[in-house]
Amino acid sequence: MIIEHNADLKLYNTFGVSVRARALAGFTSESDLRGLLQHQELAGMRRLILGGGSNLLFTRDWPGVVLRNDVPGIEVLHEDEERITLRAGAGVVWHDLVMHTVAHGWGGIENMSLIPGRVGAGPMQNIGAYGAELKDTFDHLEALRISDGEMIRFSKADCNFGYRESFFKREGKDRFVIMNVAFTLNKNPKVNVGYGSIKSELEKRGILSPTIHDVSASVIAIRSSKLPDPRVLGNAGSFFKNPTVPIRVADQLKNILPDLVTFPSADNQVKLAAGQLIEKAGWKGFREGGYGIHKDQALVIVNHGGATGAQLYDLSTRVLESVKERFGVELEREVNII
For residue 183, give the DSSP letter: E
334 annotated active-site? yes
Please list, residue by residue across 203-221, b when 16 or more beta carbons sit within 10 angstroms of its beta carbon and e when fewer do. Answer: eeeeeeebebebbbbbbbb
Among 68, 87, 118, 164, the one annotated catalytic: 164
Give, rounded to a whole angstrom, the gap between the first and last alpha carbons of the chain.
25
Please list, residue by residue across 286-324, b when 16 or more beta carbons sit within 10 angstroms of its beta carbon and e when fewer do. Answer: beeeebbbbeebbbbbbbeeebbbebbbebbeebbebbe
31 annotated active-site? no
Among 54, 166, 216, 238, the one annotated catalytic: 238
What are the residue ranges of helices labelled H in 164-280? 196-204, 212-226, 247-253, 274-280
Helices and strands (DSSP H and E) totals, the chain = 9, 20
| Alpha-carbon dihedral 278, 279, 285, 286, rounded to 10 degrees | -50
Which residues lie closer than 8 Å to 303 by C-beta, 6 or more apart?
A: 15, 16, 17, 233, 234, 235, 290, 291, 312
* Greatest pairwise CA separation for the chain in angstroms: 63
238 annotated active-site? yes
Residues known to be catalytic: 164, 238, 334
